[in-house]
Amino acid sequence: MRRGKALPLAPAANATAPYNEGFEYNKNNTMRRPFFFLSALCCALLFSTARAADEQPVDATGIAKRVAPCMACHGKEGRAAPDGYYPRIAGKPAGYLYNQLVNFREGRRKQYPLMTYMVQHLSDAYLHEMAEFFAAQHVPYPPPLRIDVSAATLERGRALAMNGDPARKVPACIACHGEKLTGVNPNIPGLLGIPRDYINAQFGAWREGMRRAVAPDCMGDIARSLSLEEISAASAWLASQPAPADPAPAASIKLPLACGSAVPPEGK
C-alpha cells in the first residue's frame, strides 16, 4: 500500500537549491502549499493508472480527470502557476513532455524528487497519454516580466540566442529551438514565455549533472560551454521577450549538433 510510504519532503526542499541563487521567489508560499495535496495526488495517480509491469491499456476517456492532480502544481490546464516556480507544460511539444516524464522516471532529471515519485510506476503508454493531453492545451501566455539588467547584458543575451558564438563554436539557440524560438516538433521545446528563474535553474541543473537527456546530451554540452554571465544574459533576454502571436512549434529543423533527445521516441 503506497499510502504508507513517507513523502520525500526533505529531498524536495533541497531541490529548490538551483532556484535560490539570487532569484526572487517566495519559498514559503511555493513550497508549503503543494504538500497539502500530495498524499491525495500521489494516491489518485497510482491507483488510477497502469503499472509499468502490467502494461495494461489505459482508459483514454478518463485522461482529463486523471491529470487533474498535475494541475495542483502546474496550474490550470498546465499553464504554470502565477509564482513562476512550477513550469508551464501546456502546449509544449508532446515528444518533449514525454521525454521529460521518462527522464524523471529513469532518474536523469533529479532536481525535484516529487516529480520522479509521481511517475516512477507509470507505464510508457500512460506517460504518452499525459504528454499528449498537455501538448494539446493551448492556453494564453503571461505577459513578460520587466527584467532589471543593463542594455549591454540584454544585447549579449540576444546575440547568443540569435547568433551563438561562432568563434567558440557555440550554436545559436534558434539553430535548435526554431527561428521564432517556439520549439520544433516533436521533441524540442520553445524558449519564450518561460520565467527567467526556471531557465537559470535548468542551466544550473545541466551543469551540475542534475538534469540529463538521452546521450548525446547537447543541452548539457551547451550549458557547460557558457559562462554564468552568458547564461544569465541569455535568460534575461529570453524572459523579456513577448510570447509569439503563433506559438506553434516549427515542423522540422536541421540541428547543428547531435541531440539524443531530439530523436523521435520509439513507437512514434
| β-strand partners of 250 | 184
In the chain, which residue ranges form alpha helices assigned H by DSSP? 9-14, 17-20, 27-48, 63-66, 68-74, 94-105, 113-119, 124-135, 151-163, 174-177, 196-207, 218-225, 228-239
| Other CB atoms within 10 Å distance of the CB of residue 5 | 11
Contact region for ligand HEC (CB under 6 A) — 20-28, 52-60, 139-147, 215-223?
Answer: 215-223
255 touches ligand HEC by CB under 6 A = yes
Least distance CB 34 / ligand HEC (angstroms)? 4
Residue 125 beta carbon to ligand HEC: minimum distance, rounded to whole angstroms: 14
| Closest C-alpha to 223, from 246, 207, 209 | 207
The amino acid at residue 134 is F
Asked if residue 223 lies in contact with residue 206, where contact means CB atoms within 8 angstroms, the answer is yes
Residue placing its CB nearer to ligand HEC in the complex, 226 or 267? 226
- When asked if residue 257 is in the footprint of ligand HEC (CB under 6 A), the reply is yes
Stretch that binds ligand HEC, among 21-29, 64-72, 146-154, 240-248 (CB under 6 A): 64-72
188 in contact with ligand HEC (CB under 6 A): yes
* Residue 181 makes contact with ligand HEC by CB under 6 A: no
Q: Is 219 in the site for ligand HEC (CB under 6 A)?
A: yes
Using alpha carbons, select from 223, 226, 216 the residue that is nearest to residue 255. Answer: 216
Question: Which of residues 80, 135, 201, 236 is near ligand HEC by CB under 6 A?
Answer: 201
Q: How far is the CB of 64 from ligand HEC (least distance, A)?
A: 12
Q: Is 135 in the site for ligand HEC (CB under 6 A)?
A: no
Which DSSP state fits 188? B
| Contact status: 157 vs ligand HEC (CB under 6 A) | no
Residues 6+ apart with CB under 8 A from 188: 93, 96, 176, 177, 178, 249, 253, 259, 262
Name the residues that contact ligand HEC, by CB under 6 A: 34, 41, 45, 67, 69-70, 72-74, 86-87, 89, 92, 96-97, 99-101, 109, 111-112, 114-115, 118, 130, 160-161, 171, 173, 175-177, 188-189, 191, 199, 201-202, 213, 218-219, 222, 234, 255-257, 259, 261-262
